[in-house]
Structure 1
Amino acid sequence: MSQVNVLDPSASPLDYYGYELRRYREAAGLTQKQLGEIINYTGSLVGQIETARKLPTAEFSERVDAALGTGGMLSRLLGLVLRSQLPSWFQQVAELEARATEICTFHTHLVHGLLQTEAYARAVLGAMDRSNLEDRTAVRLARQRILEKDEPPVLWVILSEAVLHQEIGGRETMRGQMAHFLTSEKAPRLNVQVLPYAAGAHAGLQGPFDLFHFPGDPSIVYTEGYGAGHPTANLETVRDCSLRYDHLQAAALSIKDSAELIRHVMEERYGEQHAVA
């Protein structure tokens, strides 16, 4: 008889998930293979997730919740599991994103992670390292669950026009990313503005930054370097970046004009007529 791995549920959210999955499965009197057959996954995958060797997905969690009658427990736990898989230096930022009532971002060359499509995120994460790429992509996209809450944060996004022209992942990926931007036209809590090349010198020349606002707590500025994040609640820094953001919003195109520029770039640069035969 093969030895059963005994997980310490307090070791990590992933271990806790695996522990609870096994507990619910055994309470239902099912083997890993039998549960796999019910939810249309292999018993081997069930075993890997139970022993914290594989990350669960949203679809897997939903199917297990339905099959075992957990009341949605595993689906609710999934967000914590995926967040715990972020790089240690970034986990604090994910917590800020989850708590903030308003997030203001400015980026010069890359789409912010909260707005990246799956294909775009995969291309970004795989640029230098393709190991565990599917899991790392799922972890990044899991941050976007905050936008699906009953009371999601208000998200203001200012991006340089260069972001629209920096082709990442190929034309199809960029076209999909542009189309995703355009969904903001019908989402009042999601606001996308483009800082055009014509703006010239602007208040964000020192680099990208994010502002997090909370009810009753000090605002926080976040900047990022290679393999390190730098959140600060320093009042002078927050005031400076808030003023910079005001100037960037004034220099950027309106939300409507930004959408028109995005639509133009999507068709002219990434349209089917430019596809390689």
Structure 2
Amino acid sequence: MVNIRNLDPSASPLDYYGSELRRLREEAGLGQAQLGSILYCTASLVGQIETAKKVPTRQFSERLDAALMTGGVFTRLVGLVLKSQLPTWFQAYAELEARATYISTYQSQLVYGLLQTTEYARAVLSVENPGRLDEMVAARMERQRILGREHPPVLCVVLDEAVLYREIGGVEVMRNQLGHVLGFLDHPWIQVQILPFEVGQHSAMMGSFTLLRFDEDPDVFYAESYDSGHMTANPQVIRERTVGYARLQASALSLEDSAALIKRVTEERYGHQSGPEVA
């Protein structure tokens, strides 16, 4: 039976997307099954998106625009929908991250979100978000689109060596993730350095943090606790953390040595193929 639940378009980006999908589908004289056939999906999926019970993907939105000849309405709207799926406390940071000119981050536990593969992100997010995993992964991948812009931000990443050894999602996921990080080695606006164990104590012993720099607005410092994020533009904090980050970069391995370490760990720890050995 077709779900005819009415949505309040002003309730959320997801509700607005669903209400517009239904309106334009009906204007085109198409049933849910007919549209689903055109989009290579089920009528049930169309109905779930129309009633805001399921979050649309970017691929679905692109196909929808082509099918209904909307001029890109849903492709533009899906970005807002996916951002709205981020934790409420994280959304303000994501907005600033998308506007930043320079992003400098130190990560002690995980690969930075902008450099995560889909499988790695899924493994990370499954720990706390099993009921909304698809939506959360899609939202994280949406964040990464800023790296493909015509004028992307400069991204400087320092990863603690522990990140390379913390097996997230299994051997294959880690092998692919570290290979993905290595793929940025020749990227003009992205640099990844490893802070080796041998450094000992360092200027980020309190944990991961990120500095955002803008062309016109004040710099912002960001750090996370268990279920919240803390941001500040306090000049003294920015001054201290900027110096601290410069010390981290100076203590970290060079870009070339960092890449060599990532390759070695990949080969030694994750290089073997899963499954039975072939005689």
**d(CA) in 2 for partners of 1:150, 1:244:** 31
**Secondary structure of 2:70's partner?**
coil
**Secondary structure of 1:185's partner?**
coil
**d(CA) in 2 for partners of 1:126, 1:26:** 37
**d(CA) in 2 for partners of 1:216, 1:247:** 25
List gaps (5 residues or longer) in structure 2: none
**Secondary structure of 2:265's partner?**
helix
**Secondary structure of 1:89's partner?**
helix
Partner of 2:210: 210
Deviation at 1:129, TM superposition (A): 4.4
Q: Does 1:95 align with 2:81?
A: no
CA spacing shift, 1:19–1:253, aligned 2, 3 Å:
same
Indicate the RMSD between aligned Cα atoms, in angstroms: 1.5
Amino acid at match of 1:264: R
**Secondary structure of 1:64's partner?**
helix
Partner of 2:78: 78
Identity rate, percent: 57
Deviation at 1:59, TM superposition (A): 1.3
Partner of 2:36: 36
Partner of 1:250: 250
**d(CA) in 2 for partners of 1:167, 1:214:** 34
Q: Does 1:19 align with 2:19?
A: yes
* Corresponding residue pairs, total: 276
CA spacing shift, 1:68–1:3, aligned 2, 3 Å:
closer
Amino acid at match of 1:52: A
Deviation at 1:109, TM superposition (A): 1.2
CA spacing shift, 1:3–1:143, aligned 2, 3 Å:
closer
Partner of 1:220: 220
CA spacing shift, 1:38–1:256, aligned 2, 3 Å:
same
CA spacing shift, 1:25–1:179, aligned 2, 3 Å:
same
Deviation at 1:276, TM superposition (A): 5.8
If the length of structure 2 is used for normalisation, what is the TM-score? 0.95
Query: What is the CA deviation profile of residues 164-196 of structure 1, one whole-angstrom value per residue up to 9, with x for unaligned ones?
Result: 001111100100110110111131111111111
Deviation at 1:257, TM superposition (A): 1.4
**Secondary structure of 1:258's partner?**
helix
Query: What is the CA deviation profile of residues 12-62 of structure 1, one whole-angstrom value per residue up to 9, with x for unaligned ones?
Result: 111111122122212211111100001111111111101111100111111
**d(CA) in 2 for partners of 1:130, 1:14:** 20
**d(CA) in 2 for partners of 1:3, 1:272:** 49
**Secondary structure of 1:217's partner?**
coil
Amino acid at match of 1:191: Q
Partner of 1:156: 156
**d(CA) in 2 for partners of 1:121, 1:30:** 36
Partner of 1:143: 143
Contact 2:82 2:135 in 1 (8 A): no
If the length of structure 1 is used for normalisation, what is the TM-score? 0.96
List gaps (5 residues or longer) in structure 1: none
Partner of 1:168: 168
**Secondary structure of 2:130's partner?**
coil
